[in-house]
Amino acid sequence: MTRPSIICFLGQNGNDKPKIFIRTLLYATADQGQHIQNMFVKIHRAETIQNFNVWAYGDNGIVRGSGLFASKTGISVYHHFLLPKNEQWNFVSGEYRLEVYAETPNNKTEKLFEQKLSLTTDQTKDIELGKAVYFDWAPNTGQYVSYSDIRTNEKWRGEDKKNTQ
């Protein structure tokens, strides 16, 4: 897995529970490729660990993750990670450690990526107001740059006209 170009934290919004989404390239180093049965995100905050283990992916609409194939050339899509049905989570200010895992058909789970991120008090207030906090990778500085914005990934598909003018 490549370093995600974007990581996003979204809070509760109406009936939509908090979620995390990323954009990354999944690829295999072996010639025969690799089947991925499932994916999940584990987030650490202080002494708390929360799994976002409902996986969906796609660029033009999302589908529930039930496996995909990663070849040597890879597959680049948005990956959405949601809370289990009866779980609760609130993003609060502080330091986080995000871990992305993949499960193969033989039930082997492997950590693909780990990143430390932080949320400011203002960003957590923005999440409570229905905004999202985005972390964009800045290769020139070697770090993620965070900001709050509207709750959509449409702008990366060129569909959010009001924010690009």
- How many angstroms separate the CA atoms of 43 and 156, rounded? 25
Query: How many whole angstroms from its chain centre is CA 95?
Result: 16
Range of the domain at 17: 6-163
Series of mean pLDDT values for 10-residue runs along the chain (165 residues): 96 84 94 94 97 93 85 93 91 97 93 98 94 96 94 47 37
DSSP class of residue 150 equals -
In this structure, is the dihedral angle defined by the CA atoms of residues 5, 78, 114 and 83, taken in order, positive or negative?
A: positive
> What is the pLDDT, as a whole number, of residue 158?
43
Q: What is the pTM of this model?
A: 0.87
Q: Is residue 146 part of a domain?
A: yes
CATH of the domain at 153: 2.60.40
